[in-house]
Structures are given as C-alpha cells and as structure tokens.
Structure 1
Amino acid sequence: MRVRTGRIGITLGLTGLLVPLTAVLGGGTAHAASCTTSTGPYQKQVEKFLGRTADGRQSAADCKAIRAFQSQHGITPTIGYAGPITWRTMDTMLQQRAAGKNPNKAGKCPTNKGRIACVDLTRQLSWIQDGKKLVYGPVPVRTGKNGTETRTGLKKIYWRNINHWSTIYKVRMPYSQFFDGGQAFHSVTKSMYNPPGSGGCVNMRPADAKAYWNKLKNGDDVFVYGRKPGT
C-alpha cells in the first residue's frame, strides 16, 4: 500500500511467495498448511545453512528447522519448503556476514564525499562512512520490492521527522530521513528479510534507524547502488 502525507509518499510492502502447488496442502493459508514432505530445489543449500546434514532430502526435522526460519522472517507459506525465496534470503545473509567490517572493500560507495550513508541493494546492506573510515555498521536493511525499487544514485537527505505519522493509513515511521522523492531511511519492527520488500524506503531495525538519526543530518549524502535480488 502507498502511504502519503502531504507531498511525501511512503510505501510499505506485503509478503508473497510462490511454491509448487504440490507443496501447499489443501490450498489453505500459510498458518493452516501442514509441514510439507516435498524436497525443494534448494534443499542442500538450505540444509547446510541451517547446520543440518546436507543430503538433499526433506525430513521431518529438516521441515521443522526450515519452518522456524521462515516464521522468524515472515516468509510465506510457512510450510518448510526449501524454495527460491527461502534460499535467496539465506544467501543474502551469507553475503552480509562476508562483508564483515569492510563493506566498501570494492570501493563502490564514494570515499571523497566526507560523511555519507551507503546502501548496497545487492547485499541489502547499509553503513555510514567518512572518507574511508567506517562510522557505523554495516547493518541489514529492507529495500524496495519489484516494481517499487529503491532508486539508485547519489542523493542528499532533505527532510527529517523523528516520529513520522501518516494520517491517511495510520502508519508510524520513526526516525524518517528522506533522501529521494519520498524514499527514506526509517524504522520498522518486522524482520529485515521479510519478503518481498518495501515500497521504496530503506527499512531499518529500530536501533539502527536511531543511530542513523543521531549520526546524519540534512544535506548529508546518500549513495544507493546495486540491484536487490528478485527485482
């Protein structure tokens, strides 16, 4: 849905996931569906990520572990199927872990701008740097979904509202810092890995959004690059 307050537009994404019909029992909702016995196309990768025996065969224990992961991150239907969205989420997590404390190793975010907030859509990762010095992060973020992608390029923070509220849809967006035509950093309470993504804003965990609020100001640069998986 699209939330508009005056001339500022914010969009919040909804969750979606497609799996083979044989994996959904009875065609009911994700919460009503039973744990699937179907082996998914990413079975081995998912088993390995979860620290299970990577034999590529679905078991009751595998399904329980996969369902727990899906439930934690809002991946639906939550039936323990090792499908593309579940594996894509895990692969993004692996890339984020690999970034460590050197997220700009490839030098894609400008180091000649002074303090700048970097957003890597490919790894769903953000950080603040000052020249080559890492100031905060990197932290996971949740960016725009397919069709409402977070726009790439060099931006500037132009408006901030610590307790932004939409009077139309009754949605609170704490620590909002707008940098591109209604797209903003702001806090959400859902998982950063909840698919398919936002409506263009850079969603953050509350503590990270608060830290960005304290470290950034109007006029500070924001650089968005890469491409979110699935868009």
Structure 2
Amino acid sequence: MQRNSGIRRVLAAAAVVAVAAGCTVSGSAGSAPTKPPASSKPADDKPSSTPSGTAEPDGPEAQSALFSKGDKGKKVRELQARLRQVAWLFEYPDGVYGDSTVKAVEGFQGKRGLPKTGEVDAVTWERLLKMTSKPGYFELYAGGDQPAAKPDERCMTGRVLCISKTSRTLVWMIDGKAQLTVDVRFGSDQTPTREGVFQVDSKSRYHHSTLYDTPMPYAMFFSRGQAVHYSSDFKARGYTGASHGCVNVRDEAKIASLFGQVQTGDKVVVYW
C-alpha cells in the first residue's frame, strides 16, 4: 500500500510539472495520443486560381508538391503565366512543366528563402498568388496554341480562310471541315484588320511591301492591300507587336502549306 501511495504522489507531481510547462494531460496512462484535426486543405488539393487566405508558416517547411516536373494542363499554364509576371520565366506558357519552369520555380523559391525544390508546394503557390494577378486569356496563350473559336456560320460551306479575332486563329476549312489551324496576329487600333466576307484576289510568294518597306512572304491578298502572310516579326515578338492591318502568321511551315492549297477566289471570313 505504501508503495502504491508513493507512485500516485510521483504521478501527481509529474502532472503539475507538465501543466506548468504549457502541455496538456489527457487520457489514462498507456492510452494512444489524440489524433490531431485534419488540415483544412489536404496536401494533394489542386490550388485555386485566387489566394486562399490561409496564413503561411513562419519559416520554410517541406510540403507535398502541387505541381512538379512532367505535369501538364491549364493550371501549369497559369503557373507559367504568373512566373512571367514576376520575371522568373521568360518563355511563353505552354502548359508543360519542363526544365525551364523548374529553374524558374527554384529561382522564385530561393529569392524568398523557401526550399529550392523546383516543385510548387502550397507555400510557394500562396506566395506567388499574393505577388501576381490572375492571368487573362491572352496571357495564358501569349505564345499561341490557343484553341480555335467556333467557326462562323459563313465558314461552313466551300473553301474558306476562317479567321477569328476572338481566338486569334485562322482555320483553313473545306466544306465545314478544318484542314489546318494557325495562330494569327492582327492590325493595331490605328491600322485595324477589316472584318467581313472577302475573297483571295491574288497571291505573291515573295512579296515585298513598297508602302512599309517590309517583306510579306506567302502573301494572299483579300481586301485592298490587306493580306494573310508570314511575319518574322510575329515569330520573334509574338503578340507584343501588331501588323499594319494584315493577318500575320508566324509558323512558316504551316503558311507555306496553306499557300500551296489556297486558290485565287477562295473565300475569306474575318469575324469576332
């Protein structure tokens, strides 16, 4: 009995010390520890496009990856567009988490004292969200490859260069079926590309503009000097520039193929 009384006194003293140290004592001796509450955001949740408002930990902490090398899709394209906003990625978004994206993420992490994993965890993503704005459609597709818009009804019969200003695409169509799709660029507000229904008036493989003293290879004219043609400037600068009213194409192989298929008299539809 005296021995049991002594043990109880020792346990009681230990409990007093634990409370004084800021701990809590619960359950009986030998019971399993209480399971901590589940996180409000599982580690494998895909990030939202806007900040969640959850607080970041005080210091760098290893987290499960939300994105990593080899991932593909719209969220990766958004990540790349946001990295471009803060000048850590200079290539156009393509939706593929490759080596350049890994390096950009490492640079972003290292600058902010986060573990340089090259993978996007919750902490990295939240930090990037706070420093950037939600990318617009043309930011996501700054380098092209955007989906083509629904064809205008006027494109559904015959041989047509179906050109959408909304999606910035040209679709070569025959009897309502798409044969070839290319990214295109239009004129500026000062020199807009005309909208409407036209036809190919003439073609010039090695055309050179006397008005602007610039080459216009693979030119297919459709409206008082405006033409669909290859543009090396579009290839180099993307959508940061504009034409003088023509429809620029930057994929030379595709427009060479298109030039070989399109005939004088084929319809051209330019629409929003």
Which structure has the larger Rg over C-alpha atoms? 2
1:147 aligns with 2:190: yes
Any conservation in 1 of the 2:146–2:167 contact (CA below 8 Å)?
no
Per the alignment, residue 116 of structure 1 pairs with: 160
Deviation at 1:188, TM superposition (A): 1.1
Partner of 1:63: 87
Q: How does 1:71-220 map to 2 (within 5 A)?
A: 87=136, 89-92=138-141, 97-99=146-148, 103-104=149-150, 107-112=152-157, 114-136=158-180, 138-167=181-210, 169-191=212-234, 193-205=238-250, 206-220=252-266
Change (3 A) 1:129 1:49: same
Deviation digits for residues 9-49 of structure 1, max 9, x if unmatched?
xxxxxxxxxxxxxxxxxxxxxxxxxxxxxxxxx998x9963
Q: Which moved more, 1:90-99 or 1:170-179?
A: 90-99
Report the TM-score when normalising by structure 2. 0.50
Structure 1 residues 83 and 184, CA, compared in 2 at 3 Å: closer, same or farther?
A: farther
Gaps of 5+ in 2: 1-48, 52-73, 94-130
SS class of match (1:194): helix
Letter in 2 for 1:125: T
- Gaps of at least 5 residues in structure 1 are 1-41, 71-80, 227-231
Deviation at 1:162, TM superposition (A): 0.7
Deviation of 1:190 (Å): 3.0
**Higher fraction of helix:** 2
User: What is the percentage of aligned positions where both structures have the same residue?
Assistant: 24
Contact preservation (8 Å) 2:194, 2:270: yes
The amino acid of 2:77's aligned partner reads F
CA RMSD, Structure 1 to Structure 2 (Å): 3.7
Distance 2:86 2:165 in 1: 30
Does the residue aligned with 2:191 lie in a helix, a strand or coil? coil
User: Which structure shows the bigger proportion of residues in strand conformation?
Assistant: 1
